[in-house]
Chain A
Amino acid sequence: MKALSASERRRRRSLLVMATLAILSTLIFGLLQKSGQNVTYGFTLDKEWVLIQQWVISSRTSSLLFGVISLLASAAAFLQFRAGRTIGLASGIGSAGIMMSFLSWAAAGKFIPFTGLLQGALLLSVPLIFGSMAGVLSERSGVVNIAIEGQLLAGAFVSGVVASLTHSTFLGLVVAPLAGCLISTLLAVFAINFAIDQIILGFVLNVLVYGITDFLYKKLLIPYQSTWNSGPTLSAIKIPLLWKIPIIGPILFDQSIIVYLMYGVIFFINFSLFKTKWGLRTRAVGEHPTAADSVGIKVNRLRFMNVMIAGLVAGLGGAYFTVGGVGSFNKEMTAGKGFIALAALIFGRWTPWGAVSAALLFGFADNLQSVLGIIGTPIPSEFMLMVPYLATVIAVTGFVGRVRAPAADGTPYKRGESH
């Protein structure tokens, strides 16, 4: 057998992990399950066209079925791997099968609103996706962005307060990106102009935003709640016809404007990063600034601009908490979402689609945790909440493939200094 390259070894190892999990879930959730209860999946949310109302199946059969699907997918992935083809689709089906096998086991005797589960997962992913897109923008050009949390929180605070004072969701949406941008401007000035350690800097900026918003929350938002902190919220907009599509319609096309903006941001960033001159330059600056400089790219100017755009994106994501959600601002309401976004960025290997997939996965884990928490299951919810964090640790330690940051990520660039 010929020697495998590093990336092939990595893919083989992740295949082995998937196959093992598929076997285990078929065994534990399927064959060894004794509950004999049914699980009911609901598929309708609203008045969309109905393909199937609900699906009742024995929990054991369902777990077994999905376990076998994941086994077949693993086998298919293995064959494709041997033939030297990509294994993305087969791995996706395999992972989903494992997940469903687990869900069928955990929900024995219960009702699972399947469409609602996915819709909730998307909603919980929204700030993660905005945050990780901000991370992509900034880190692909070589500036580490730990301040995502602070940018989200600043966006949430300012948009909530402005929407409340002006009674306008539109103004709330407009100022949120500016607030995020203000924080990222600080990040850019200190990281690029003063060349301070960006990890420390991001950390300090988070503390600063926590401090200022906590302070103003107690001093202004609580005592003068009716004027300062009771903002209007955005309502959902149904996209004609599209929202009627069974299952995916209500999930994707019956959302507030922020979610539609998010779709735009994802496609725009992915397209620009890989298909435009700006994208090529951004990646060059993040990987090898000296080379980029030698062909006339203004390294620090480009980095500065990208960090500012990152702030705009994260700030908009912050608006999702207030005008896009409950309307009023709450102390530290981002609750570490910025760090999960950072985890998604890393887990997704610093690529836009990777980060989006990771964010969706983490959002799904989060929502699954709360749904299972409500119906009651054998797994303590705290362990479900650990999933994104443990997954990221496993990802960076290289168990299922080493993740690598852009080569110059976090290194300030000064002309004439070799790196």
Chain B
Amino acid sequence: MRKLTKKRPSLRALTLPGLSFVLAMFFGALLIAFSDSTVLKHIGHPITFIKSAGVAIWQSYLALFEGSVYNPSLAKPHDALLSWYPLSETLVTAAPLILAGLSVALAFRAGLFNIGAQGQFIFGSIAASYVGFAFHMPIGIHVVFAVLAAIIAGAIWGGLVGLLKARTGSHEVIVTIMLNYVALYFLMWLLGTTRFLRPGRRDPISPDVLPSARMPHLAGDNYRVNLGIFVALAAAAFVWWLLSRSTWGFRFRAVGANAAAAKTAGISVPFVMTTVMAISGGLAGLGGAVHVLGSDFSLTSGTAGNFGFDAITVALLGRAKPMGVVFASLLFGALRAGGGTMQANTNTPIDIVLVIQALVVLFIAAPAVVKWVFRLKNLKTTGDLTAKGWNG
């Protein structure tokens, strides 16, 4: 039961994620330098080579920062605050990511690996946008209904996985990988039907959600940041409460720590599996709602983007803790938002973000690497991602 007792949070919890991030940024920098043609021209002259590599890396990472936090050149004489516009973009990207990340993290704590956040996100965005554009309701109530529809749709799609696992023992990873594709093709089919296709358009795009169903802006119409970020933070608080303050959460964690022991203790494992996956699915579905009602407004085949998959890296980086997920999402949200600017202003493609994400998670999963690189003595070397496999 040692795992279930609460540990005192300390700065040392941040050592591994922090160092992993530094190491990942370092490899990212190498990739930038060694794929740049102007840098490679100087490969025969070590000093100019290092200098030009430094310039390329500095420019890329500066653009990344300017695209995600603060860019002084955006300020206008009458509105100096506009230089913080990128921060608003970071929050817009982070909000759905937090929710999808919480979905993966919650399942993790109950010993389930929810790769299906992508599919649940898709179903959430379908439900939210359908309620958003097809029904007329008073402002305020409309948003609530659209959000509820998304939560229910995601919860059904996710709960199905838990039910199948509980009833038949089928591995949730296999089922969720497959259901992600089913959800995507379902969305693509839906966008070809008259009910979902925007009038006058032939390319697959749905009508915009009505203004009454949109998440209100938080800082005026110049910034896209909206209520979604508060919804996400509230959800994080809810998941924290659920996991560490409620009886259900205790059962979830007990099943996650040792399903056989939990069963002996009288906890219904099938019930926990189904409930956890339903709540997880609901969170991812809510992420879809925040994305569609907060910033995208319409449904396309690419609506879910990479949210469901980034969610997994976010949950791993945040070590499946709600607060960790929030910070990890802000970080990856910033990388995503800044990556766009970086790609536009320098010749470093946004895809470096994927490389950095993958490396961060890899280093966190294998602390031995970080320990060796930074010559740390008392960093614990066993990761908290215990191996299980198909029959586990």
Contacts and interface: CB of A to CB of B under 8 A. Distances in A.
Given A200-B385, A396-B170, A407-B391, A382 B365 contact: no
B352 A215 contact: yes
A200 B189 contact: no
B5 to A, nearest CB: 23
A380 B192 contact: yes
B178 A195 contact: no
A409 B178 contact: no
A208 B181 contact: no
B215 interface: no
Nearest to A195: B387
Interface residues on A, range: 35 or more
A218 B351 contact: yes
A305 B5 CA distance: 41
B164 A397 contact: yes
B358 A218 contact: no
Interface residues of B, number: 56
A411 B181 contact: no
B168 A382 contact: no
Given A197-B365, A197-B386, A383-B185, A210 B35 contact: no
A397 to B, nearest CB: 5
Nearest to B165: A397
Best-surrounded residue of B309, B356, B358 (most CB of chain A within 10 A): B358
A402 B171 CA distance: 12
Nearest to B316: A200
Given A205-B358, A215-B351, A392 B389 contact: no
Nearest to B313: A207
Contacts of B343: 218
B185 A211 contact: no
A211 B391 contact: no
B126 interface: no
Contacts of A411: 387-389, 392
A404 B189 CA distance: 33
A371 B326 CA distance: 47
A226 to B, nearest CB: 14
Interface stretch (A80-88, A114-122, A338-346): A338-346
A343 B115 CA distance: 15
A220 B390 CA distance: 39
A190 B362 CA distance: 9
B355 interface: yes
A229 to B, nearest CB: 14
Nearest to A411: B389
B331 interface: no
Nearest to B353: A211
A400 B35 CA distance: 51
Contacts of A199: 113, 173, 388-389
Contact residues of B: prevailing secondary structure: helix
Contacts of A207: 309, 313, 354, 357-358, 361
Contact of B365 (A200, A218, A385): A200
A128 B333 CA distance: 34
Interface in B334-367: 343, 347-349, 351-359, 361-362, 365-366
A412 to B, nearest CB: 5
- Which of B177, B179, B352, B355 counts the most A-chain CB atoms under 10 A from its CB? B177
Contacts of A139: 390
Contact of B358 (A208, A219, A396): A208
A411 B386 CA distance: 10
Contacts of A409: 389-391
B309 A389 contact: no
A36 to B, nearest CB: 29
A336 B181 contact: yes
A203 B118 CA distance: 14
B387 A208 contact: no
B201 to A, nearest CB: 18
A345 to B, nearest CB: 10
B388 to A, nearest CB: 6
B234 interface: no
A382 B170 contact: no
Contact of B349 (A142, A203, A215): A215
Interface string B158-193: 000000100111110111011101100110110010
Nearest to B367: A194
Given A196-B385, A203-B115, A397 B175 contact: yes
Given A336-B181, A339-B177, A390-B182, A218 B389 contact: no
B366 A405 contact: no
Contacts of B312: 200, 203
B305 interface: no
B352 A216 contact: no
Contacts of B358: 204-205, 207-208, 211
A290 interface: no
B113 A196 contact: no
A290 to B, nearest CB: 15
Interface in A379-409: 380, 382-383, 385-386, 389-390, 392-393, 396-398, 402, 404-405, 407-409
A232 interface: no
B167 to A, nearest CB: 8
B366 A212 contact: no
B174 A211 contact: no
A233 interface: no
B197 interface: no
Contact of B389 (A339, A346, A402, A410): A410
Nearest to B179: A393
B185 A215 contact: no
B179 A389 contact: yes
Nearest to B167: A397
Contacts of A343: 174, 177-178
A382 B183 CA distance: 10
B355 A389 contact: no
A410 B388 contact: yes
B351 A410 contact: no
B368 interface: yes
B383 interface: yes
A48 to B, nearest CB: 36
Interface in A323-341: 336, 339
Interface in A234-282: none
A191 B388 CA distance: 11
Nearest to A201: B365
B31 interface: yes
B388 A398 contact: no
5 contacts: A146-B173, A200-B365, A207-B361, A382-B188, A410-B390
Sort A-B residue pairs by CB-CB distance and give the 7 closest, nearest first: A410-B389, A211-B354, A214-B351, A405-B390, A382-B189, A208-B358, A211-B355
Given A198-B389, A402-B169, A410-B389, 6 more contacts: A196-B365, A199-B389, A203-B312, A215-B352, A382-B186, A397-B170
